[in-house]
Amino acid sequence: GESVGLHLPTLSVQEGDNSIINCAYSNSASDYFIWYKQESGKGPQFIIDIRSNMDKRQGQRVTVLLNKTVKHLSLQIAATQPGDSAVYFCAETSNAGGTSYGKLTFGQGTILTVHP
């Protein structure tokens, strides 16, 4: 279903803390998941991805966890910095029908604010 509402979930942390952003996805057929970061006035920027045959993937300061049983995805940011302040979106997709992996279904987004 479509998200309705103008108030995004927010997460406020102190610089240096670890941040965890959660996302519930809807389609059991989705097999590719991506986290995007969107700064004010800019387009979404790729952070990290994970395929459905994995339950954890690590990047630089970021870790994505996937729990397919409960259709839940999380993004962990280690040692959060003020430059990490942005809106974070999870997105899901699949290659159902061979229509390519760019047909993304986005979550509502979470506003992360990092205080110095």
Partner 1 sequence: NAGVTQTPKFQVLKTGQSMTLQCAQDMNHNSMYWYRQDPGMGLRLIYYSASEGTTDKGEVPNGYNVSRLNKREFSLRLESAAPSQTSVYFCASTLGGVYTEAFFGQGTRLTVV
Residue 66 interacting with partner 1 (CB under 8 A): no
SS3 106: strand
- Check residue 102 and report its DSSP letter: T
Task: Name the residue type at position 11.
Answer: L
> How many residues bind partner 1, per CB under 8 A?
31
Distance CA 112, CA 21 (A): 8
Rounded distance between C-alpha atoms, residue 108 and residue 85, angstroms: 17
Stretch that binds partner 1, among 13-21, 56-64, 73-81, 96-104 (CB under 8 A): 96-104
Residue 11 in the binding site for partner 1 (CB under 8 A): no
C-alpha span between 80 and 112 (Å, rounded): 10
Give the one residue of 8, 11, 62, 78 binding partner 1; rule: CB under 8 A. 8
Please identify, among the stretches 13-21, 29-37, 64-72, 77-85, the one whose residues bind partner 1 according to the rule CB under 8 A. 29-37
Please answer whether residues 72 and 23 qualify as being in contact, where contact means their C-beta atoms are separated by less than 8 angstroms.
yes
Residue 72 Cβ, how far from partner 1 at the closest point, in Å?
A: 17
Rg (CA), the chain: 14
**Nearest CB to partner 1, comparing residues 85 and 107:** 107
Does 67 participate in binding partner 1 (rule CB under 8 A)? no
Contact positions vs partner 1 (CB under 8 A):
2-3, 5-8, 32, 34, 36, 41-46, 49, 51, 89, 91, 95, 99-109
